[in-house]
DNA sequence: CGAGTTTGACCTGCGC
DNA sequence: GCGCAGGTCAAACTCG
């Protein structure tokens, strides 16, 4: 089902905030070199830039609020579903009980597979009796420097490493972590580099945290990490209890700074269009975003039906 | 000194 | 039953 066909998801994103770094300095330089008589133009330009920045910040805030609402709706629907499942245990048995090792779903475009959270919901239905033992499995893909050998995925939680193993199908070692934030929390995490792309860390989460996200309790900003959705970077934090993604498009991407400052063509309308398309397709491809969106829509529809 | 990491040994499940 | 591979344990070690 294509959700984008149901409602207008165009958010009028200012997808190229980097143009501040890209265009503005060069223009400023130009005017500085042309002559001192252009001081007022520089000031005007600065004002325009400040206004633009304010506008983008407001837009970012709006987007953040929208995503928060989406995630809240998702969580409430999820809770409803959990309640419903526990009250009607018979329903789940319609699904196949057979389960081999969890299959890794690869998406169609041939890039790294991304099956984050998708298996967990299936598992929830397929093996209700195992649910309490292996409650939830989700995967998170994090792009890192290929030279970075540490198997650290900063997700805001506190992890204690308890083992490392080299597996047969992957030359890079797999690290095993347990949540150490709360002694009663039994969530585990496995981190291993992707076979296809050594710069991608695959973090597999098992179970659900029975405590609030440390980041929400005033943790450091390091709880956020840079995820790459397609080619569009964004600052994001992901918890296994629910997707919490904060897009901050006003932040320049440190990885691209050098590139953008040296590539004048990045500020072209074609490139902006390309960025918008990339972002849209990335969001459309992201199963967790789709899930959250679908949950939000169905939640709204349910509320409508009740009223 | 306590918390976290490393690493070899051990346990367990699965296929043959 | 055996062997293999993944997962876990725990002692030694490191670091702040």
Please report the DSSP string for A181-213 in residue order. Answer: SSTT---EEEEEE-SS-TTEEEEEEES--SS--
Taking residues A245-250, report their average pLDDT.
Answer: 36
From the number of C-beta atoms within 10 Å of its C-beta (0-12, 13-18, 19+), residue A139 rates as: buried
Nearest nt by C1' to A101 Cα: B14
A164 touches strand B (CB under 7 A): yes
The first and second tokens of residue A184, run together, are 């009663």
Nucleotides of B under 7 A from a protein CB: 3-9, 15
Cβ(A278)–Cβ(A266) below 8 Å: no
A176 touches strand C (CB under 7 A): yes
In this structure, the number of other CB atoms found within 10 A of the CB of residue A89 comes to 10
Nearest nt by C1' to A204 Cα: C7
Query: pTM above the 0.85 mark?
Result: no
Tokens 């997808």 correspond to: A15
- Return mean pLDDT, chain A: 55
Q: Is A124 a residue whose pLDDT tops 70?
A: no
Sheet containing A188-193: order of strands: A137-143, A200-206, A188-193, A170-179, A159-167
DSSP alpha helices (H): ranges in chain A?
A: 19-22, 24-34, 39-87, 118-126, 254-262, 269-285, 287-306
Between CA A21 and CA A52 the distance in angstroms is 13
Between CA A298 and CA A60 the distance in angstroms is 25
Nearest nt by C1' to A163 Cα: C8
DSSP state of A154: -
CA distances from A175 to A3, A100, A162, A248 (A): 37, 23, 8, 30
CA distances from A160 to A173, A179, A202, A216, A285 (A): 16, 6, 17, 20, 32
A158 touches strand B (CB under 7 A): yes
A161 touches strand B (CB under 7 A): yes
Residue whose Cα is closest to the C1' of C9: A162
Nucleotides of C under 7 A from a protein CB: 4-10
A168 touches strand C (CB under 7 A): yes
For residue A169, what pLDDT is reported?
A: 79
Q: Is A188 a residue whose pLDDT tops 80?
A: yes
Taking residues A250-264, report their average pLDDT.
Answer: 36
A162 touches strand B (CB under 7 A): yes
Cβ(A44)–Cβ(A279) below 8 Å: no
Answer with the residue of higher pLDDT: A300 or A45: A45
Q: Is A5 a residue whose pLDDT tops 80?
A: no
Taking residues A286-290, report their average pLDDT.
Answer: 53
pLDDT band at A219, cuts 50/70/90?
very low
Å between CA of A264 and C1' of B6: 48
Is 2.60.40.10 the CATH number for A137-210? Answer: no
Å between CA of A262 and C1' of C4: 53
Å between CA of A114 and C1' of B15: 29
Show me where the domains of chain A are located.
137-210
Q: Is A126 a residue whose pLDDT tops 60?
A: no
Q: Is A128 a residue whose pLDDT tops 60?
A: no
- The residues facing A130 across adjacent strands are none
CA angle (A248, A251, A252) in 5-degree steps: 135
In sequence order, the 6+-apart residues with CB closer than 8 A to the CB of A198 are A146, A172
pLDDT in tens, A75-93: 666 666 666 556 554 433 3
The proportion of chain A whose per-residue pLDDT surpasses 70, expressed as a percent, equals 29
């Amino acid at each position: 089902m294509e959700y984008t066909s149901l409602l207008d998801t165009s958010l009028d994103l200012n997808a190229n905030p980097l143009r501040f770094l890209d265009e503005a300095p060069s223009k400023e330089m130009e005017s500085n070199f042309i002559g001192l008589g252009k001081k007022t133009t520089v000031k005007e330009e600065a004002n325009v830039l400040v206004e633009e920045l304010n506008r983008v910040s407001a837009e970012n805030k709006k987007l953040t609020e929208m995503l928060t609402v989406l995630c809240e709706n998702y969580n409430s629907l999820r809770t409803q579903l959990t309640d419903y499942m526990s009250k009607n245990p018979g329903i789940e048995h319609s699904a196949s009980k057979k389960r081999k090792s969890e299959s890794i779903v690869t998406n169609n475009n041939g890039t790294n597979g991304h099956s984050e959270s998708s298996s967990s919901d299936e598992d929830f239905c397929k093996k209700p009796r195992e649910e309490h033992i292996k409650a939830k499995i989700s995967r998170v893909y994090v792009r890192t420097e290929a030279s970075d050998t540490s198997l650290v995925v900063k997700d805001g939680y506190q992890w204690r490493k308890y083992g490392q193993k080299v597996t047969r199908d992957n030359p890079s070692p797999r690290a095993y972590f347990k949540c150490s934030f709360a002694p009663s929390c039994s969530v585990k995490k496995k981190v291993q580099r992707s076979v296809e792309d050594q710069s991608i860390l695959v973090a597999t989460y098992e179970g659900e945290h029975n405590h609030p996200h440390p980041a929400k309790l005033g943790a450091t900003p390091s709880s956020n990490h840079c995820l790459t959705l397609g080619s569009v970077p964004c600052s994001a934090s992901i918890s296994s209890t629910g997707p919490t993604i904060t897009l901050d498009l006003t932040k320049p991407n440190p990885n691209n700074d050098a590139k953008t400052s040296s590539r004048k063509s990045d500020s072209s309308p074609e490139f902006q269009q390309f960025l918008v398309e990339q972002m849209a397709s990335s969001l459309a491809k992201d199963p967790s975003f789709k899930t959250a969106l679908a949950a939000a829509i169905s939640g709204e529809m349910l509320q409508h039906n009740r009223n």
